[in-house]
């Protein structure tokens, strides 16, 4: 079949069963957009900024487990997209991003809207390509999708010069992948697995430390079964919320900087840590020399470079988590006696009773934690929860009752403000049957506010809940704790009228100052099936607690803040 | 202070656009040292061989190897201690110098005269990297005007 480069892009996406592309056109990618116009295999959603196109594709990928796809043009189109690439890369999210480039003959001449896109994307993608010949395009696109979703997933960037999108070439989409150099390991080494089971058998105080890999590997059911079978208490990272399900009696909660007391104490007092797909982020470990210092460590990860990167590992297992845990289950059935860990479970339960996650509710002023809990009570598993970055993000992770994987979408690694709204759009497109909530802050929401237009235009009914404290709250909290209350550039009390703002985009807005108003607004928003924004006026000076100050130790948490 | 060791890595990669920038970018981005780096295609294949001399603490060296493996175009990372490692150096010496003893020195370091001009000669030596160090110290007495080192090439045995 003779096709132009642009037609090849369309056909490749069709072969990959892509149902939606998020993007923004421009000069260098116009040939591709001309073919987008002519086809009806997939829906194209025009965002209002390239960064948002990538976050929407990212949200789509996280909610669905499929590869998210985005198109952007060369130059500024691409540079706007970089934050989206980096966000997805840090959280191992599968995406294919296709950018236009100036024609090959003009590369290197500082042409209009030219930038060295592959040079810029290299450190923030899993892999990238500059397509120099249309005959390579089918293979490159096939590889791009394969690389994005296989192994440790990640974004792949394909930069296509304008003349290549016009060139004609033979199109035969490869049916299988033959890559000489890239072969991820899926199956764990049986000897290592056996040793790991023996280590669990020998342990008295084991803890499951579950990371985002459990989501990427779709291993939630296996991890739950393994935990139950062995009776081992579990902690989740920010990225792993939903893996165990919050109703699960073995789940202590989130660990780390804003983790709960029992989770952090479990890590500190464990004699064996069973790490299922986390990456020992500094927000989790705190001071490394004190991190889980009594514990031997089993680390299961599909990325060998993740193992031993931060802390030495006693039992490394390279492989796909689902696969490895499946192999561990029959051995555990034979060899592990869950009653052995009862004293340990009881101890942790006591820790949780002594210092549960808490906040002081008020009838005078809305507390942000209350708003999150309330949404959890009213919507529970009916909602997918997206967030931006900051205090609201931590409160959402702490107080929303998650019950299944892919219910929670948040920029964990890069911490990208402005992620929430476009990611919510992507999630709602992926799973239209769910209510999609974007918990956001009055700082974050303005970083991609233009996407209200995308949502309204496409009738993607996401509900934005601004926990409005008129501060850049998390930075303000650090200034309170560590900078002697010098609130440098964090006061956001000069702000738009968010109700009028969303109304001007064609959505519905609510301003809320009481619990009754909140319930009413949420109910109306969810039932309205339109794009909504609830501006919740919350206590300005509420802090996220507990807190392990950066570089502090997990067993030495700040449980409350005293002036 | 952690103990830094020198390590020779032989990295086989696909010989494609941008592969060198992926490797050098990896070292720069993660703050790893490159003491020397040489690259050339492997005959009759689509592959290239890079010889990288690096240094770091044991955990850092382990990460370097893993991160190199992680690059999509990386075929193989050879880190065995069993390398034949050689380096070459070119040294330009003015003819005005007294060459007494130079001949014997060149012999000792597998050297030869590579080129000459109206007022200079260029000598070339190929030897182990530490012996190249020694040669370059010894050759100072001839007041060389230019020195070029190739970086190591290595073959696992």
Going across the sheet that includes A95-101, the strands are A43-46, A20-23, A68-72, A95-101, A155-161, A127-130
Interface test with B, best of A149, A159, A181, A316 (most B CBs within 10 A): A181
Superfamily of domain A190-354: TPP-binding domain (3.40.50.1220)
Q: Does domain A2-170 have CATH number 3.40.50.970?
A: yes
B82: distance to nearest CA of chain A, Å?
24
Asked if A139 reaches chain B (Cβ–Cβ under 8 Å), the answer is no
Interface test with B, best of A157, A177, A182, A306 (most B CBs within 10 A): A182
B73: distance to nearest CA of chain A, Å?
6
B61 and B21 together in one domain: yes
Asked if B48 reaches chain A (Cβ–Cβ under 8 Å), the answer is no
Of the candidates B79, B98, B115, which is a domain's last residue? B79
Give the number of domains in chain B.
2
Structural domain of B74: 5-79
B72 and B96 together in one domain: no
Q: What are the chain B neighbours of A303 within 8 Å (beta carbons)?
A: 70
Separation between Cα atoms, residue A130 and residue A117, nearest integer Å: 9
C-alpha distances (whole Å) from A473 to each of A92, A195, A467, A478 are 27, 46, 10, 9
Residue A449 DSSP symbol: T
Asked if A182 reaches chain B (Cβ–Cβ under 8 Å), the answer is yes
Q: Where are the domains of chain A?
A: 2-170, 190-354, 368-537
Write out residues in chain A with pLDDT < 70, as ranges: none
Nearest Cα to A40, choosing from A27, A58, A21, A26? A21
B72 with A126: Cβ contact below 8 A = yes
Of the candidates B45, B62, B79, which is a domain's last residue? B79
Asked if B22 reaches chain A (Cβ–Cβ under 8 Å), the answer is yes
What pLDDT sits at residue B2?
Answer: 65
B51 and B101 together in one domain: no
B22 and B69 together in one domain: yes
Mean pLDDT, to the nearest integer, of B31-35?
95
Nearest C-alpha in A relative to B14? A181
B141 and B109 together in one domain: yes
What pLDDT sits at residue A178?
Answer: 87
CB-based contact A221:A245 (threshold 8 Å): no
What pLDDT sits at residue B80?
Answer: 75
List of E strands, A453-502: 462-468
Separation between Cα atoms, residue A371 and residue A377, nearest integer Å: 10
Of the candidates B54, B79, B104, which is a domain's last residue? B79
A181 with B67: Cβ contact below 8 A = no
Which residues are B116's β-sheet partners?
Answer: B121
How does pLDDT run across B47-94, given as a tens digit for each residue?
A: 999 999 999 999 999 999 999 999 999 999 998 778 999 999 999 999
What pLDDT sits at residue B82?
Answer: 85
CB-based contact B55:B106 (threshold 8 Å): no
B22 with A147: Cβ contact below 8 A = no
Nearest C-alpha in B relative to A180? B75
Q: Which residues of A are catalytic?
A: 50, 112-113, 162, 474
* Predicted ipTM of the assembly: 0.92
What pLDDT sits at residue A440?
Answer: 98
A181 with B72: Cβ contact below 8 A = yes
A123 with B25: Cβ contact below 8 A = yes
What pLDDT sits at residue B1?
Answer: 52
Separation between Cα atoms, residue A123 and residue A138, nearest integer Å: 24
What pLDDT sits at residue B81?
Answer: 73
Separation between Cα atoms, residue A325 and residue A288, nearest integer Å: 27
Q: What are the chain B neighbours of A118 within 8 Å (beta carbons)?
A: 18
The pair of three-digit structure tokens given for residue A513, joined into one six-digit string = 């100052």
How does pLDDT run across A179-219, given as a tens digit for each residue?
A: 999 999 999 999 999 999 999 999 999 999 999 999 999 99
Nearest C-alpha in A relative to B75? A181
- Tally the residues of chain A: 563
Q: Does domain A368-537 have CATH number 3.40.50.1820?
A: no
B12 and B37 together in one domain: yes
CB-based contact A192:A316 (threshold 8 Å): yes
Which helix (H) or strand (E) is A439 found in, with range? Answer: strand A435-441
Q: What are the chain A neighbours of B67 within 8 Å (beta carbons)?
A: 305
B75 and B92 together in one domain: no
């Amino acid at each position: 079949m003779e096709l132009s480069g642009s037609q090849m892009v369309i056909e490749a996406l069709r072969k990959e069963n892509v149902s939606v592309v998020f993007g923004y056109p421009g000069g260098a990618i116009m040939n591709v957009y001309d073919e987008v116009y002519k086809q009806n295999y997939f829906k194209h959603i025009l965002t209002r900024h390239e960064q948002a196109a990538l976050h929407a594709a990212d949200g789509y990928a996280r909610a669905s487990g499929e590869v998210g796809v985005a198109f952007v043009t060369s130059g500024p189109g691409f540079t706007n997209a970089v934050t989206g690439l980096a966000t997805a890369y840090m959280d191992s999210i599968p995406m294919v991003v296709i950018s236009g480039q100036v024609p090959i003959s003009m590369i290197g001449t500082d042409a209009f809207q030219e930038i060295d896109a592959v040079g810029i994307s290299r450190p923030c993608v899993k892999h990238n390509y500059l397509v120099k010949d249309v005959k390579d395009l089918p293979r490159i696109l096939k590889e791009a999708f394969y690389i994005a979703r296989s192994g440790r997933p990640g974004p792949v960037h394909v930069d296509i010069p304008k003349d290549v999108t016009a060139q004609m070439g033979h199109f035969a989409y490869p049916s299988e992948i033959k890559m000489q150099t890239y072969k991820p390991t899926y199956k764990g080494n049986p000897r290592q697995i056996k040793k790991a089971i023996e280590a669990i058998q020998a342990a008295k105080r084991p803890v499951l430390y579950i990371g985002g890999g459990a989501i990427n590997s779709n291993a939630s059911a296996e991890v739950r079964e393994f935990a139950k079978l062995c009776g081992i208490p579990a902690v989740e990272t920010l990225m792993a919320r939903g893996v165990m399900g919050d109703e699960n009696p073995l789940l202590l909660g989130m660990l780390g900087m804003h983790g709960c007391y029992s989770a952090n104490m479990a890590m500190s007092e464990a004699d064996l840590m069973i790490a299922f797909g986390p990456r020992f982020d500094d927000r989790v470990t705190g001071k490394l020399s004190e991190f889980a210092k009594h514990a031997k460590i089993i680390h299961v990860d599909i990325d060998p470079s993740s193992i031993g990167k931060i802390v030495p590992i006693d039992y490394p297992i390279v492989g796909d988590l689902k696969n490895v845990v499946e192999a561990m289950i029959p051995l555990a059935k034979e060899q592990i006696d869950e009653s052995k860990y009862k004293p340990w479970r009881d101890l942790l339960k006591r820790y949780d009773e002594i210092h549960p996650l808490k906040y002081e509710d008020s009838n005078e002023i809305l507390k942000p934690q209350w708003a999150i809990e309330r949404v959890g009570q009213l919507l529970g598993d009916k909602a997918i929860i997206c967030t931006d970055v900051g205090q609201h993000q931590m409160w959402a992770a702490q107080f929303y009752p998650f019950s299944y994987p892919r219910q929670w979408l948040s920029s964990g690694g890069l911490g990208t403000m402005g992620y929430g709204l476009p990611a919510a759009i992507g999630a709602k497109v992926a799973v239209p049957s769910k209510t999609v909530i974007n918990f956001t802050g009055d700082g974050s929401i303005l970083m991609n506010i233009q996407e209200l237009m995308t949502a309204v235009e496409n009738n993607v009914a996401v509900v934005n809940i601004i926990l409005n404290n008129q501060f850049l709250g998390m930075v303000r909290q650090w200034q309170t704790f560590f900078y002697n209350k010098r609130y440098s550039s964090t006061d956001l009390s000069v702000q738009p009228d968010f109700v009028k703002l969303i109304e001007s985009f064609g959505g519905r807005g609510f301003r809320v100052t009481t619990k009754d108003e909140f319930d009413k607004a949420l109910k109306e928003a969810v039932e309205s099936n339109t794009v909504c924004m609830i501006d919740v006026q919350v206590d300005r000076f509420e802090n996220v607690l507990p807190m392990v100050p950066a570089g502090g130790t997990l067993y030495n948490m700040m449980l409350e803040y005293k002036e | 202070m952690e103990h830094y060791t020198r390590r020779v890595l032989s990295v086989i990669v696909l010989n494609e656009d941008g592969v060198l920038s992926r490797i050098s970018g990896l070292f720069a981005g993660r703050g790893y040292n490159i003491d020397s780096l040489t690259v050339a295609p492997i005959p009759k294949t689509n592959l290239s061989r890079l010889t990288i001399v690096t240094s770091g603490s044991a955990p850092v060296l382990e990460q370097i190897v893993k991160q190199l493996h992680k690059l999509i175009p990386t075929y193989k990372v050879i880190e065995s201690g069993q390398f034949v490692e050689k380096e070459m150096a070119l040294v330009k010496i003015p003819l005005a110098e007294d060459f007494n003893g130079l001949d014997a020195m060149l012999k000792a370091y597998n050297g030869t005269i590579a080129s000459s001009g109206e007022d200079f000669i260029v000598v070339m030596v190929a030897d182990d990297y530490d012996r190249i160090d020694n040669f370059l110290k010894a050759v100072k007495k001839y007041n060389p005007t230019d020195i070029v080192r190739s970086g190591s090439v290595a073959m696992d045995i």
